[in-house]
């Protein structure tokens, strides 16, 4: 015979409410996991392509008398990194070309015979923190891959909290003729809670790249 179920106790304490920062924290972790997965997928695809080329080269060399030297891991990692940067730049160029094509159709640029290849293209991509989690008071580096910028052209780094509030004044960096622009920022202590989350946008010549989420914990 089934035991009767006791009615709920009206005097029992209510369950504690969910923490106010639970949703932003989950959103931050989901965004970070999504971006990490995308990077991992690109790395795997690039690595598979590299391994295919290596296997082909090894098969060609195996028929010769001279010994075949196995490729070093460091060389493969460096080549994969270069492929990733090349792919990111190409995606940025494709996006810029599409935007220029739309502008050309409206402004009549195509009508005067000016092709998209004749227009300057600049790109800002792959914005990232040097670490995705730091303690308050630590210095973290903000960087972005850039293409088409002169050594003295500025890239603006704007830091924003996940609640949408702007953090301080924008930071300004330059590529110095390289393919990377970067600045440094000292993480402030979280206000009234165990941790705080931030992202930044790197902007230059109308191009914008958004970083993953940075978590700052109490020192």
* DSSP secondary structure of 101-155: HHHHHHHTTGGGT--GGGS---EEEEEEES-SEEETT-EEEEEEEEES--TT-EE
Q: What residues does each domain of the chain span?
A: 23-62+69-112, 121-217
pTM listed for this prediction: 0.50
- The CATH code for residues 121-217 is 2.60.40.1930
pLDDT tens-place values along the chain, 219 residues long: 556 656 666 666 666 665 555 566 666 667 666 666 666 666 777 777 777 777 777 777 776 544 444 445 555 555 666 666 666 666 666 665 665 566 555 554 444 444 445 444 688 888 999 999 999 999 999 999 998 888 889 999 999 998 899 999 999 998 877 888 999 999 999 988 899 999 999 999 888 999 999 999 987
């Amino acid at each position: 015979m089934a035991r009767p179920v006791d009615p709920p106790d009206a005097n029992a304490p209510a369950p504690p409410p969910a923490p106010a920062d639970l949703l932003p924290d989950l959103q931050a972790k989901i965004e970070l996991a999504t971006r990490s997965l995308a990077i991992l997928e690109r790395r795997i695809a690039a690595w598979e392509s590299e391994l295919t080329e290596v296997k082909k080269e090894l098969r060609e060399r195996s028929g010769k008398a001279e010994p075949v030297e196995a490729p070093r891991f460091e060389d493969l990692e460096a080549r994969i990194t270069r492929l990733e940067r090349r792919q990111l730049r190409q995606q940025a160029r494709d996006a810029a070309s599409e935007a220029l094509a739309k502008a050309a159709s409206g402004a009549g640029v195509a009508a005067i015979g000016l092709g998209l290849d004749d227009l300057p293209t600049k790109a800002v991509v792959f914005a990232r923190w040097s670490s995705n989690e730091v303690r308050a008071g630590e210095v973290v580096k903000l960087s972005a891959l850039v293409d088409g910028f002169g050594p003295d052209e500025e890239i603006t780094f704007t830091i924003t909290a996940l609640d949408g509030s702007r953090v301080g004044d924008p930071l300004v960096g330059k590529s110095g003729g390289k393919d990377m622009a970067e600045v440094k920022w000292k993480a402030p202590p979280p206000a009234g809670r165990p941790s705080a989350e931030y992202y930044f946008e790197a902007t230059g010549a109308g191009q914008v790249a958004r970083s993953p989420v940075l978590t700052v914990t109490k020192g």
